[in-house]
Structure 1
Amino acid sequence: MTVQDSLLLQNKLHPSLQPQDVVKLCYQAAFGGEHLLKDKAIAQTYLMREFSAVPAENAALYEEISPEICRVSLPSWKGHGLPPEWLFPLFVLSADRMTNNRQLFEQALSTAGKLVSAGRLSFSPAAWQQYLTQYWTVGCHPVHHSSIYREKEHPSYRLVQKRFVRLFPLLERMAALPKTDGTRVLAIDGRSASGKTTAASLLEQIVSASVIHMDDFFLPPQLRTDSRLSQPGGNVHYERFQKEVLPHLGLRKAFSYTAFSCQKMCLSGRRTVPESEWQIVEGAYSFHPVFGDYADLLAFSDIGPQEQMQRILKRNGSKAAQIFADRWIPLEEQYFKAFSIPQKADICF
């Protein structure tokens, strides 16, 4: 979605849009919400207070305002049963990853001006020029919504990068799980380069989870016999996972396990899994039936074959990409097919 598309969508969704609100949208598209996070403790307190005051709504969770940024509705977040404690890290992560871009801001304003001149926004060219003249007298700066917009639209949202929207359905499923005295367990299986590790890393920050990586349980070279690798999922050291991890899952207690190093091709040190409300087992083969039903929620991370190879090539280089294509991806696909892994998932994303 381009900035023009976003402006036209906002004009349609919010007919009380004023020049001041368009400038605010263009500013947010270019700079995000970093200016609101000078003191994160105050920003979090303000979010919690605002969230408790808004009514719950069963509406869309977000509206796009640029190719990279969306406005996540607090009433909708509440209506979807999502806790505000999960939204604040998304807001912080989004602000931290934004690059202030004055040129993008001015380009967005130029696009808005063309739409106003063409009569495609809900106010006159004269009103637009009058507000812009007033705005630039104090230089480039963030602005509030107009009083008319606040009265009619009741805006209540936080800015979040669109790259995180992929996780929203998964977060909803996680929020719907009943709380327990122990730890709730999420398993994320899926195809190579589909974003499993990235998703787990983000969830670690969003829901304060501890993460166990299946990469730490690759089968050591001395165990990679033809017989073993012919088994679906045989290239994961599931015996060690069963011994070192499985007994601890679901228990609200820290533990540690020995990690396999893909660089050294051997066991290399121990990894500590801290006590937490959530445990995430991330990586291919995490749904292996030999582990039983250890997880409260199963999520499958998917990707098309063409994009998969493009990502692997970019991430690992051409030599490693060829090894993935010839060896690791076929082994994964064998496992997915043999055990109907995508169909076993509670949610695919």
Structure 2
Amino acid sequence: MTRPARAGGTRVVAVEGRSGSGKSTLAAVLAAELAVPVVAMDDLYEGWDGLLAGVRALTEQVLRPLARGRAARWRRYDWERGEYAEWHELPPGGVLVIEGVGSGARPARPYLGGLVWLEATDDVRMRRALARDGDRYAPHWSRWAAQEERYYADHEVRERADLTIVTG
């Protein structure tokens, strides 16, 4: 990665795309290859209606502190219990991969060193997401997709991506 760090001394790469597009898979490969941490937006959302709360948490608890040279500190959302759980901390510096819907939001943009968009057809995405999360996700698919629609219309993430990868 040749771009300068834009979050203090931390180079941040966002991996974005709609549910089921392959974000988690790509982020895991990048993190393993580069030996760097991943912050998953799933840990920041405030439940099924919490996409924008996740964006706020990303900006306020992760990116802004890193930009100031301080540790990022956030609470993981526990989907089973329906509430926030333990705290996580990440020191500044190095490379950080952030994956999930919201990682490339407008408020995050000033801190990103790179933005990757993953693209897949609706059928492929739905099949992957339901295979991954099954009955837990199925009742919420349409509800989450509606949030994605509003979010992507407002934040124009795909249009701002540095790289687009078609995954299916």
- Native 8 Å contact 1:189 1:299 kept in 2: yes
Superposition TM-score, scaled by structure 2 size: 0.81
Question: Equivalent residue of 2:20, what SS?
Answer: coil
Output the CA distance in 2 between the equivalents of 1:270 and 1:307. 34
Structure number with greater CO (CA < 8 Å, separation at least 6) is 2
- Match among 149, 155, 158 for residue 339 of structure 1: 155
Deviations 1:14-40 (A, max 9, x none): xxxxxxxxxxxxxxxxxxxxxxxxxxx
Larger fraction in strand: 2
Query: 1:279 pairs with 77, 96, 99, which one?
Result: 96
Note if contact 1:255-1:274 (Cα within 8 Å) is conserved in structure 2.
Answer: yes
Report the AA paired with residue 182 of structure 1: G
Instruction: Report how far residue 260 of structure 1 moved.
Output: 1.2
Q: In 2, distance between residues paired with 1:240 and 1:319?
A: 24
Superposed CA RMSD in Å reads: 2.7
2:66, 2:72 within 8 Å by CA — same for their partners in 1? no
SS in 1 for 2:111: coil
**CA distance in 2: counterparts of 1:323 and 1:284, whole angstroms:** 15
1:290 pairs, out of 97, 107, 119, with 107
Partner Cα distance (2:72, 2:123) in 1? 39
The answer to whether residue 6 in structure 2 is matched with residue 189 in structure 1 is no
**Match of 1:202?**
29
Q: Provide the residue aligned with 2:128 in structure 1.
A: 311
> What secondary structure is seen at the aligned counterpart in 2 of 1:293?
helix
How far, CA to CA, are the matches of 2:109 and 2:115 in structure 1? 12
Q: Does 1:240 align with 2:78?
A: no
Tell me the amino acid that sits aligned with residue 192 of structure 1.
Answer: S
Q: Count residues in correspondence.
A: 164
Task: Name the SS for the 2:80 alignment partner.
Answer: coil
Matched letter for residue 33 of structure 2: I
> Greater Rg, structure 1 or structure 2?
1
User: 2: distance between equivalents of 1:244 and 1:179?
Assistant: 18
Could you tell me which residue of structure 2 aligns to residue 47 of structure 1? none
| Deviation at residue 220 of structure 1 after TM alignment | 5.1
Per the TM alignment, residue 219 of structure 1 is displaced from its structure 2 partner at its CA by: 2.2
**C-alpha separation between the residues in 2 aligned to 1:263 and 1:275?**
30
1:155 aligns with none
SS at match of 1:246: helix
What stretches of structure 1 of length at least 5 have no aligned partner?
A: 1-174
Quick one: distance in 1 between partners of 2:31 and 2:159? 25
Instruction: Look up the equivalent residue of 1:213 and give its one-letter code.
Output: A
| Structure 2 unaligned residues grouped into runs of 5+ | none
Instruction: Tell me if the contact between 2:58 and 2:103 (Cα under 8 Å) persists in the aligned partners.
Output: no
Q: Secondary structure at the match of 2:46?
A: coil
Give 2:32's aligned amino acid: Q
SS of structure 2 residue aligned to 1:241:
helix
In terms of fraction of residues, the more helix-rich structure is 1
Q: What are the residue-to-residue correspondences of 1:209-220 with 2, within 5 Å?
A: 209-219=36-46
Deviations along 1:227-282, one digit per CA (max 9) or x if unpaired, are xx8xxx53x33333333212233577654321111121101001232555211111
